[in-house]
Amino acid sequence: MIIVLKKTATEANIQHIAEKALKLGLKTHISRGVERTVIGFIGPEDKLQMIPLDTFPGVEQVMPVLAPYKFVSREFRTEDSIVKIRDGVTAGGKKLIIMAGPCAIEGEEMLLSIAKKVKAAGANVLRGGAFKPRTSPYDFQGLGEEGLRILKAVSQQVGIATVTEVMDPRDVGIVSEYADMLQIGARNMQNFSLLKEVGMIKKPVLLKRGISSTIREWLMSAEYILSNGNFDVILCERGIRTFETETRNTLDINAIPVVKQKSHLPVIIDPSHGTGRWDLVASVSKAGIAAGADGIVVEVHENPEEAVSDGSQSLLPKKFELMMHELAAVAKAVGREV
């Protein structure tokens, strides 16, 4: 249930409602939009039915939220949310967010060199994994905390925001100390303990769609984060498992306009994991932007042959630069900019 407030509602009116809810054991979240201010409730809502909320001063309408996810839904917030990653770096507005970098952080020199190149080509966020979710326990698992230290050092030298994956609820604190944004990987999309944990921090979260998850399940996972208090969530379509074998995954272009209809959260695509093939990355990126995605996250490596992970889907920096020119043209055609 949400409460839509009258344009004339005062701060005191809002406080009055919040205090009443608190007495019933519910927390409130207030969304102040340009068109309307809405109050949402966190907790056992059935208790609210005991009080006539529509008689409270400042209340225009008491509305049930029909979607199973409520804070994530367009019913709760009609305008697009803009998520701030760092000063001057946002996702969800007119400007696209471009995240680029290696699959895994392999060392400081390599990351520094890639960071400089992707930034020069127009990326605003550096990606790179320090904790890697690998199918085989014998594959490279990431540099761990040393990787995080490298990420932060490079970020400071180059002046670029960062995103890196967190796989374990116990690491949320340490990853938050080093990175501007935390990534929840596809394999952890339904790790509910992890979702609750990142719901309690004050850093933005990049939530990837699970390998075999429906859009509804994905949005429910986002709801875990928002309902724990963190509204700074960016969704990422990274391809789903289908019967097709030409590509590693099938990037679900449909998901972009579907999510845009159902939610106010920004949505980006990951054409690297979505295809598994560097030669398809530019085409799929352009398709994603044309379909309304708010940006991309793409893997870039200077020597893909030697990459410790995902070399075959990584772009050379030069190819990334070329792709950025093409993306700029598509962005312009759909009223966006890079």
Interface residue list for Mn ion (CB under 5 A) = 103, 310
Residue 252 interacts with, from Mn ion, ligand PEP, none (CB under 5-8 Å by kind)? none
Catalogue the long-range contacts made by 326-330 (C-beta closer than 8 Å, 24 or more residues apart).
Answer: 326/282, 326/286, 327/96, 327/98, 327/285, 327/286, 327/289, 327/296, 328/122, 330/286, 330/289, 330/290
Residues interacting with ligand PEP, by CB under 6 A?
A: 103, 129, 133, 185-187, 208, 238, 270, 273
Nearer to ligand PEP, 103 or 195 (CB): 103
Q: Which does 133 bind (CB under 5 to 8 A by kind): ligand PEP, Mn ion, none?
A: ligand PEP
CB 296 within 8 A of CB 330: no
Q: Which is nearer to Mn ion, 56 or 140 (CB)?
A: 140
Structure token digits, residue 234 = 């960016």
Q: Which is nearer to Mn ion, 133 or 173 (CB)?
A: 133
Residue 194 binds which of Mn ion, ligand PEP, none (CB < 5-8 A, kind-dependent): none
**Which lies closer to ligand PEP via its Cβ, residue 3 or residue 103?**
103
Q: How far is the CB of 288 from Mn ion (least distance, A)?
A: 17
For residues 226, 214, 309, 106, the Cα torsion angle rounded to the nearest 10 degrees is: 0
Give me the DSSP letters along 146-161: HHHHHHHHHHHHHT-E
Alpha helices in the chain, H assignment, sequence order? 11-23, 108-121, 145-158, 172-178, 192-199, 215-227, 255-262, 271-275, 278-290, 317-333
Closest CB 313 distance from ligand PEP, rounded Å:
9
Chain position whose Cβ is nearest to Mn ion? 103
Which entry of Mn ion, ligand PEP, none binds 223, CB below 5 to 8 A by partner kind?
Answer: none
Least distance to ligand PEP, CB of residue 273, Å: 4
Under the phi-then-psi rule, with left for phi > 0, alpha for psi from -120 to 50, and beta for the rest, what region is 298? beta
Decide whether 103 or 255 has the Cβ nearer to ligand PEP: 103
Q: Which residue is nearest to ligand PEP (CB)?
A: 185
